[in-house]
Structure 1
Amino acid sequence: MLLWINGPFGGGKTQTAHEIQRRLPGSVICDPEHAGFGLHRMLPPALRGDFQDLVSWRRGVVEVLDLALSKHDGVVIAPMTVTDSGYFTETVGRLREMGHDIRHFALLAERETVLERLRGRGFGHLLQYVAGKDAPLRRESWAVQQLDHCLERLREPEFAEHLWTDHSTVPKTADRIAVLAGLTLLPNGEGALRNRLRQVRVELKHIRFD
């Protein structure tokens, strides 16, 4: 089974994916974003647009996820924002055509909720001091520019199943996905502080400066 976790940038995809992976033995995260960043780094900065526009990214994601789903004995989790219906068909749709069990979830929230989450990412002042005043805002600024478009597109029926997360914690969202997918997660068993510290570690691992 593939759990494709969609949603706007800053909507909680990566945190939810890591929460599921932590509590679902045998599961793995295969992040399509990594392939996109690799393709970006192969190009001169002036030629770097949206890596999803590259046919090589779309085909490569299908090839790699097909391999993981065919050879790995466990659930595969792909946290990735896809709002273009054609690209969605070429990736999620193609994997379904190949016979894989694909469960797609779009994590949605009100605009202000996502903006608040984006403001909480990147450890603002600390990273400004370490990497320069513009460093922590680059990805967040781009995410804000894309936010309205993402929220509008992901509300469409083709991007179901929709999960509203305004009043949900990451563990609770993971629990909801598991129930809908017919999976059983290990109990969370940790308090809010430990959950937050773990989420901070995930955020640190995913900070980029390019």
Structure 2
Amino acid sequence: MLVWINGPFGGGKTHTAHELHRRLPSSVVCDPEHVGFGLHRMTPPALRSDFQRLGAWRQGVFEVLDLALSGHEGVVIAPMTLVEPAYYDQILGRLRESGHEVRHFALVAGRETVLGRLRQRGLSRGLKREEFAVSRLDECLERLRAPKFAEHIETDRLTVQQVADRIAEAAGLRLAPDTDGALRRRLRRIGVTLRHIRLG
């Protein structure tokens, strides 16, 4: 099974993916963003833009996920913002046509909730460090609420653990109990944030 976790930038996708992975034995996180980063590193800086517009990104993500789903026995978790219907079809639609079980979840929240999360993610620079995410926020929230991008999970008042629980319940997955205390939970979140800081 593929669990694709969609949502706006700063919506909690990565933290939720790693919480699912932590509590779901034999699962693996396959982050489509890494395909994009690889394409950017191969491209002259002046030519870099939104890597999702590159057919090579969409084809590459499809092929990597198809390989993972075909060769890995556990659940594959992919956290990635994807709001273009045609791109959705070219990746998730093709994976379904290839016989894979695909579960899609869009994490949605109010604008101020997401801005607050982006401020935290931006560390000392706050929203200055998140200009791209802020510039795309309204478009993402509007598009993700369309029926095409269901199943929707409203996350304004949910913890990461509760979001993971809802995804697991909807997908028929059994998670290990969450035994973390407040301090360990906080340290895990900081660790995930630090591992996903973009330096440029």
TM-score normalised according to structure 2 size: 0.97
- Contact 1:8 1:107 (C-alpha < 8 Å) held by counterparts: yes
Correspondent of 2:176 among 174, 182, 186: 186
- Between the aligned partners of 2:78 and 2:128, the Cα distance in structure 1 is 25
Does 2:130 correspond to 1:143?
no
1:57-206 alignment runs, 5 A limit: 57-124=57-124, 137-138=128-129, 140-206=130-196
State the AA in 1 paired with 2:12: G
Name whichever of 116-125 and 42-51 sits farther off. 116-125
Aligned CA RMSD, in angstroms, stands at: 1.2
- Contact 1:122 1:203 (C-alpha < 8 Å) held by counterparts: no
Shift of 1:116: 0.3
- Between the aligned partners of 1:22 and 1:203, the Cα distance in structure 2 is 15
TM-score normalised according to structure 1 size: 0.93
How far does the alpha carbon of each residue in 1:36-81 deviate from its partner, in whole angstroms, 9 at most, with x for none? 0110111111111110000011001110100000000100000010
State the AA in 1 paired with 2:139: H
Report percent identity of matched pairs: 66
- Between the aligned partners of 2:115 and 2:82, the Cα distance in structure 1 is 19
**SS of the residue aligned with 1:104?**
strand
Equivalent in the alignment of 2:13: 13
Give every structure 1 segment of 4 or more consecutive aligned residues whose post-TM-superposition deviation is greater than 4 Å: none
- Between the aligned partners of 1:66 and 1:99, the Cα distance in structure 2 is 10
1:17-56 alignment runs, 5 A limit: 17-56=17-56
Structure 1 unaligned residues grouped into runs of 5+: 129-135
State the AA in 1 paired with 2:25: P
- Between the aligned partners of 2:28 and 2:194, the Cα distance in structure 1 is 19
Shift of 1:193: 2.3
Shift of 1:123: 2.3
- Between the aligned partners of 1:39 and 1:194, the Cα distance in structure 2 is 35
* Count of residues in correspondence between the two structures: 200
- Between the aligned partners of 2:93 and 2:181, the Cα distance in structure 1 is 38
State the AA in 2 paired with 1:189: T
Name whichever of 116-125 and 144-153 sits farther off. 116-125
- Between the aligned partners of 2:128 and 2:19, the Cα distance in structure 1 is 25
Shift of 1:137: 3.4
Equivalent in the alignment of 1:133: none
- Contact 1:104 1:159 (C-alpha < 8 Å) held by counterparts: yes
State the AA in 2 paired with 1:12: G
- Between the aligned partners of 1:70 and 1:137, the Cα distance in structure 2 is 41
